[in-house]
């Protein structure tokens, strides 16, 4: 069996040769290329040979990163870009700003008059514009005339005076907006001097509500459930959205000044009771509806303020959805179900790996639904995203340091604490640094069924990340991990899809190399997650823990395939229904015991 670390070293040698070649080509000093080699090599030995790491590590930290994501062809281009500066022409194109409202209007006009309507729903219209690689998303934006703006401002002032309680004490967004809507109607009815005809009451009330307790210009985007992400990349540039079916699109929402963007950031910060200013120009938090928001202002983001909102799905995906999407097939779903449940004996420890937005958190949520109701589940996250219909669950959320630099709650501290709470399961949303060691210690000391996600592009890379700084889990401890599940976002002719691309089993650590075998691998030709030739050691472990024979295990898998198949066929997909079916099955098993 070729160990991962051996394969890794071979790959590394190739990568180093490539990096060296590129650096030589681009007139970097040869010594620097050489020190790369030392530093790259030290990555794998991070745990066994600390001394070597220290010598070369500081020198080319960036290249180490390149290695961790092995530089394929694109990597080479990146390096070339670093050395040969892009021409002035391309700099200008990249930075082309939309000058003012007039230019924006004419651009929008062009997109809409030349574009071909692809689809239309609710407030949204989606166009294909000739010469543009992305689709164009148009939504209705309130565009009051200057005289209407005056009335809106007067109404805003009056409302502020009348509503004295803090609007954000009302947690429910609809309730909050309703209260304001009613108040504004009252003002309009009782203030004839504002002189608004009755048929425009609704227009003004809505405009004031979105400005005061909504998200202003991006309000309609927030309410489009087909959008996964909303991205404001600065003033004078279109806002982008990531659509469930159409992927990345640019929109007709353009901010002209940075103040307009900061205005929305302030609204969000107010909801959260936080502040974003020069002394703390970054905000990463969760909105009351569960959406994740990240905001940055200059000088952190050089070209202006930005907002990234990862929208929360009210109706979370389930295993049935993922099977329908083709993210995994029935067989693999049944297999993962068995692993999470652990044949009532040894639930597997698993890490879900993938890039940003590859669907890791979603898959973690889906798999956690297989945890039997009888378990005590503790979840730890930086920003709470998981939504588990499990009865006995306690959720923890980390916290950054406050303005005085104190009060930080790290995931490490939280994981340590959960281990004192007699958990059956520990779930860490995103494993990033020191908490990894604590989690692996748990896995190695009899805490089964631990799960988490991690940012890496393959099983192999996952192992390197886990054992390198800042996680630095000792190699021997990898033995506590049973599976690495890798998910990817893949571009196809049909658009973007998410696929589990490999499932690797860690069958132990011998002579300082983790033995990791790919047991399922996605075949792009057939678009199917296929079983490889590698035996599954986990089943042997199950046989030593339980009375199960091979044929019992097979029967168990088949039973689950048929339960899942039945759910798919009957289109039972909501989290409550799927969860009920899973738990009922456990109850039935118990009755038969
Ligand atoms: N298997 C899937 N198929 C289609 N869309 C998915 C799938 N998994 C996740 N998504 C969507 O992709 C987005 C990112 O998912 P998420 O799980 O948060 O990714 P990650 O945790 O890897 O950053 C979400 O909007 C989610 O609804
Ligand atoms: Mg995530």
Kindly state the DSSP code that residue 104 receives in the 8-state scheme: H
Cα(293) to ligand 1 centroid in Å equals: 16
Q: What percent of the chain has pLDDT over 90?
A: 61
What spacing in Å lies between the alpha carbon of 95 and ligand 1's midpoint? 30
Q: Which CATH superfamily is domain 348-543 in?
A: P-loop containing nucleotide triphosphate hydrolases (3.40.50.300)
Mean pLDDT over 391-413 rounds to: 88
Query: pLDDT at residue 376 above 70?
Result: yes
Ligand nearest to the CA of 382: 2
What is the crossing angle of helices 575-592 and 550-569, to 10°? Answer: 150
- Of 208, 249, 255, nearest to 227 by C-alpha is 249
The pLDDT assigned to 11 comes to: 56
> pLDDT value at position 10?
57
How is residue 199 written in tokens? 């048929």
136 neighbors 249 (Cβ within 8 angstroms): yes
- 48-52, 94-98, 218-222, 420-424: segment of lowest average pLDDT: 48-52
Give CA–CA dist 200/147, Å, rounded: 14
pLDDT at 17: 52
Pocket test of ligand 1: the residue of 247, 332, 362, 364 to mutate, having most ligand atoms within 8 Å of its CB, is 362
* Ligand closest to CA 429: 2
What is the helix (H) or strand (E) element at residue 124, kind and residue range? strand 124-128
How many other C-beta atoms can be found within 10 angstroms of the C-beta atom of residue 494? 8
Among 514, 512, 438, which Cα is nearest to 479's? 514
Nearest CA to ligand 1 atom 4: 498
Task: Single out the residue of 425, 390, 376, 374 nearest to residue 586, CA to CA.
Answer: 374
Measured between alpha carbons, how far is 460 from 168 in angstroms, rounded to an integer?
46
| Strand arrangement of the beta sheet that strand 495-510 belongs to | 393-397, 377-381, 425-430, 451-455, 350-354, 483-492, 495-510, 513-523, 528-531
411 conformational bin, left if phi > 0, alpha if psi -120 to 50, beta if neither: alpha
pLDDT digit string, tens, across residues 486-507: 999 998 887 789 999 999 999 8
pLDDT at 48: 37
For ligand 1, atom 12, the nearest C-alpha belongs to 359
Contacts of 591 (CB under 8 A, 6+ apart): none
Residue 289, pLDDT above cutoff 90: no
Can you tell me the distance from the alpha carbon of 221 to that of 225, in angstroms, rounded to the nearest whole number?
Answer: 8
Highest mean pLDDT among 38-47, 274-283, 474-483: 474-483
More confident residue, 571 or 37: 571
Distance 500 CA to ligand 2 centre (A): 15
The pTM assigned to this predicted structure is: 0.76
Q: Which residues, including other chains, have CB under 8 Å from residue 260's CB and lie 6 or more apart? A: 217, 235
Question: At which residue do the structure tokens 């934006």 appear?
Answer: 141
Contact indicator for 246, 259 with CB cutoff of 8 Å: no
pLDDT on residue 101: 86
Pull the structure tokens for residue 376.
Answer: 């005590």
Rounded distance, CA 466 to CA 478, Å?
A: 9
Ligand 1 atom with the shortest distance to the CA of 317: 27
Ligand 1 site residues (CB inside 6 A) read: 228, 313, 317, 322, 325, 327, 354, 356-362, 498
Tell me whether residue 574 is exposed, middle or buried, using C-beta atoms within 10 angstroms of its C-beta: 0 to 12, 13 to 18, 19 or more. middle
The pLDDT assigned to 45 comes to 39
By CB atoms closer than 10 A (0-12, 13-18, 19+), residue 273 is: exposed
Mean pLDDT, the chain, integer: 84
**What is the mean predicted confidence (pLDDT) over 447-463?**
96
Does pLDDT of 16 surpass 50?
no
In a mutational test of the pocket of ligand 1, which residue from 227, 314, 357 has the highest number of ligand atoms less than 8 Å from its CB? 357
The domain limits of the chain are 4-89, 146-217, 348-543
Most confidently modeled range among 135-144, 164-173, 310-319, 332-341 = 332-341
Residue 311, φ and ψ in degrees, nearest 5: -75, 145
Q: What does the pLDDT read at residue 141?
A: 85
356's tokens: 């940003």
Say which range, 165-169, 343-347, 557-561, has the weakest mean pLDDT.
Answer: 165-169
Are the beta carbons of 522 and 502 closer than 8 angstroms? Answer: yes
pLDDT of residue 161: 87
CA of 214 to the centre of ligand 2 (A): 26
Interval between CA 219 and ligand 1 midpoint (Å): 22
Instruction: Give one DSSP letter per residue of 508-577, joined into a string.
Output: EEETTEEEEEEEEEEETTTTEEEE-SS--HHHHHHHHHSS--HHHHHHHHHHHHHHHHHHHHTT--SHHH
3-state secondary structure 465-479: HHHCCCCCCCHHHHH
The single residue listed with the structure tokens 């051996």 is 6
Comparison of pLDDT for 468 and 274, the residue scoring more: 468
pLDDT of residue 392: 96
Q: Whole-angstrom Cα distance, residue 445 to residue 93?
A: 56
pLDDT at 142: 74
- Distance (angstroms) between ligand 2 centre and the Cα of 487 equals 12
Residue 275 corresponds to which tokens in the numbers above? 């502040």
């Amino acid at each position: 069996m070729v160990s991962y670390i051996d394969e890794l070293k071979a790959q590394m040698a190739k990568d180093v040769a490539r990096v060296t070649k590129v650096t030589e080509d681009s007139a970097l000093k040869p010594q620097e290329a050489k020190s790369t080699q030392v530093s790259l090599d030290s990555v794998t030995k991070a745990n066994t040979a600390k001394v070597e790491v220290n010598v070369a590590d500081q020198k080319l930290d960036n290249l180490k990163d390149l290695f961790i994501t092995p530089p394929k062809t694109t990597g080479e281009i990146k390096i070339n870009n670093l050395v040969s500066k892009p021409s002035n022409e391309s700099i200008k194109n990249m930075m082309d700003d939309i000058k003012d409202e007039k230019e924006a209007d004419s651009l929008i006009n062009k997109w809409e008059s030349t574009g071909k309507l692809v689809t239309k729903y609710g407030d949204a219209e989606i166009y294909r514009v000739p010469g543009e690689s992305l689709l164009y998303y148009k939504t209705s934006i309130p565009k009051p005339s200057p005289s209407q703006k005056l009335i809106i401002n007067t109404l805003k002032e009056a409302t502020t005076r009348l509503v004295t309680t803090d609007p954000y004490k009302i947690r429910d967004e609809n309730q909050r907006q309703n209260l304001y809507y009613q108040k504004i109607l009252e003002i309009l009815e009782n203030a004839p001097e504002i002189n608004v005809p009755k048929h425009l009451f609704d227009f003004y009330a809505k405009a004031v509500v979105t400005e005061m307790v909504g998200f202003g210009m991006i309000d309609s985007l927030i309410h489009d459930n087909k959008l996964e992400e909303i991205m404001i990349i600065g003033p004078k540039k279109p806002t982008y959205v990531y659509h469930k079916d159409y992927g990345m699109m640019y929109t007709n929402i353009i901010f002209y000044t940075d103040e307009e963007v900061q205005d929305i950031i302030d609204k969000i910060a107010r909801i959260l009771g936080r502040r974003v200013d020069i002394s703390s120009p970054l905000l990463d938090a969760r909105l009351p509806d569960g959406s994740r928001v990240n905001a940055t202002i200059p000088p952190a983001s050089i070209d202006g303020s930005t907002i990234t909102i990862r929208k929360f799905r009210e109706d979370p995906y389930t295993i049935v959805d993922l099977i329908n999407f083709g993210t995994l097939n029935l067989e693999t779903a049944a297999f993962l179900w068995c692993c999470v449940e652990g044949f009532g004996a040894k639930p597997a420890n698993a890490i879900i790996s993938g890039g940003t937005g590859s669907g890791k958190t979603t898959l973690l949520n889906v798999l956690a639904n297989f945890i039997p109701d009888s378990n005590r589940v503790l979840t730890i996250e930086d920003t709470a995203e998981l939504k588990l219909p499990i009865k006995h669950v306690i959720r923890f959320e980390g916290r950054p340091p406050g303005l005085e630099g104190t009060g930080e709650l790290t995931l490490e501290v939280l994981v340590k604490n959960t281990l004192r709470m007699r958990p059956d399961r520990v779930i860490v949303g995103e494993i990033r640094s020191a908490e990894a060691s604590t989690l692996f210690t748990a896995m190695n000391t009899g805490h089964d069924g631990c799960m988490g996600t991690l940012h890496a592009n393959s099983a192999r890379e996952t192992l390197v990340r886990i054992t390198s700084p800042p996680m630095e889990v000792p190699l021997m401890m990898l033995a506590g991990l049973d599976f690495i599940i890798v998910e990817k976002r893949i571009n196809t002719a049909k658009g973007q899809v998410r696929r589990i691309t490999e499932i690797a089993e860690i069958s132990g650590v011998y002579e300082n190399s983790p033995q990791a075998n790919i047991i399922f691998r996605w075949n792009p030709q057939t678009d199917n997650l296929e079983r490889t030739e590698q035996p599954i050691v986990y089943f042997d472990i199950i046989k030593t823990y339980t009375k199960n024979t091979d044929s019992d295990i097979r029967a168990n898998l088949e039973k689950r395939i048929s339960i899942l198949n039945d759910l798919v066929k009957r289109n039972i997909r909501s989290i409550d229904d799927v969860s009920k079916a899973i738990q009922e099955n456990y109850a039935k098993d118990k009755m038969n015991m």
